Amino acid sequence: MQIIHLAAEAATQVSQISGNLGVLGYGLAAIGPGIGVGLVVSKTIESIARQPELAARLQVTMWLGIAFTEALALIGLATPFIFAA
Amino acid sequence: MFDSLGTVIGRVLRLGAALVAAIGIVGSLVGYLLTGLPGVYAALIGSGAAFLFTALTALSVLIGSKLNLAGFLGAVLGGWLIKMVLFLIGFSFLNKSDWLTRDSRPIVFFTVVSAVIGGLVIDTLIVSKARLTATLDKP
C-alpha cells in the first residue's frame, strides 16, 4: 500500500519537472560514444603492449574505430536542430 | 611501396573535403529552394562542421603518431574532449541564433548526418585499400 502511495507521489513529481530536456539528451548521447572510445583505446593499448612493432598499423585501426564511434556523438550534438520544440 | 600514415590521412582529408564541398553545394540548393537564404547558411554550416569534426580527429592521430604512446593518447583523446566541448558550445549558440530560422534548422542536421556517413565511407575505403606496413615504419 505504501509502495503504491510512493509511486503516485513520484509520478506527480515527474509530471512537475520543467526545463530544457535537451540537456538530458546530450548526456544520453555522450554515454555511448564515451564507452565506445574508451573500449577502442583500451584495446589498442593492450594490443600495442603485446606487439609494439605493430603500433603504426594499430594506430590507423584505432583512428577508424574512433571515427565510427564519434559519428554517433556528432549526430547526438546535432539532434537539437531537428527535435527542438 | 607502402603508404605512410601521413599519406593515408592526406588522402582522407582531400577526398573528405571534396565530398563535403559536394554535400554543401547540393544542400545549399535544396536549402535555398525549401527555406531561402537561411537554408544556404544551414547547409554550409552543417557540412563545414561535420568536416571540421572528422578532420580534427584525423589530424590529432597524425600529430600524435609522432609522439610516444602517452603523447599519442593525450593528443587523440585530449583533442577529442576539447573538440566535443567546443562543438557543444558552438551548436548551442547556433541553436539560439535568430538569423538561422526555425524551419531551416533541420537542414543543418541532415547535412551533418550525410557528411558524417559519407566521410566514414571514404575513411573505410581508403584505409582498406591502403598498403600499410605490418611493422613500425619509424626506425
- Beta-bridged to residue B132, according to DSSP, are B3
- B89 interfacial to chain A (CB closer than 8 Å): no
Question: Cβ A67–B57 below 8 Å, yes or no?
Answer: yes
Does a structural domain hold residue B138?
no
Does a structural domain hold residue B139?
no
Nearest CA in chain A to B113: A75
Q: What is the pLDDT of residues A32-68, one digit of tens each?
A: 888 999 999 999 999 989 998 888 888 888 889 998 9
To the nearest 10 degrees (0 to 180), the angle between helices A55-78 and A22-50 is 180
The Cα of B6 is separated from the nearest Cα of chain A by a number of Å equal to 10
Let me know: does A64 contact B123? Beta carbons within 8 Å: yes
Cα separation, B133 vs B3, whole angstroms = 7
> How many other CB atoms are found less than 10 A from the CB of residue B81?
12
Cα separation, B9 vs B55, whole angstroms = 9
Nearest alpha-carbon partner for B8 in B125, B138, B136, B139 = B125
Percent of chain A with pLDDT over 70: 85
Does a structural domain hold residue B137?
no
Read off the pLDDT of each residue in A1-18 and give the average, rounded to a whole number.
72
Kindly state the cell numbers that stand for B12.
Answer: 582522407
Q: Give me the tens of pLDDT residue by residue for chain B, a chain 139 residues long.
A: 777 878 888 899 999 999 999 999 999 999 999 988 888 998 999 999 989 988 888 889 889 888 888 888 899 889 888 888 888 888 888 888 888 888 888 898 999 999 999 999 999 999 888 887 766 555 4
Return the pLDDT at B138.
52
User: Could you tell me the residue range of the domain that residue B17 belongs to?
Assistant: 5-129
Burial letters B30-57, b for 16+ CB under 10 A, else e: bbbeebeebbbbbbbbbbbbbbebbbbb
Does a structural domain hold residue B106?
yes
The Cα of B26 is separated from the nearest Cα of chain A by a number of Å equal to 19
The ipTM is: 0.81
Does a structural domain hold residue B84?
yes
Read off the pLDDT of each residue in A79-84 and give the average, rounded to a whole number.
78
- DSSP-derived 3-state class of residue B55: helix
Return the pLDDT at A56.
81
DSSP A46-85: HHHHH-GGGHHHHHHHHHHHHHHHHHHHHHHHHTHHHH--
Return the pLDDT at B139.
43
Among candidates A52, A53, A84 on the partner chain, residue whose Cβ is nearest the Cβ of B95: A84
Cα separation, A5 vs A40, whole angstroms = 46
What are the chain A neighbours of B95 within 8 Å (beta carbons)? 80-81, 84
**What is the total count of domains within chain B?**
1
Does a structural domain hold residue B110?
yes
Return the pLDDT at A59.
85
Nearest alpha-carbon partner for B68 in A32, A36, A50, A48 = A48
Does a structural domain hold residue B14?
yes
Does a structural domain hold residue B24?
yes
H helices of chain B, where? 5-35, 37-64, 69-73, 79-96, 105-129
Give the global pTM.
0.81
- DSSP-derived 3-state class of residue B88: helix
Question: Cβ B116–A26 below 8 Å, yes or no?
Answer: no
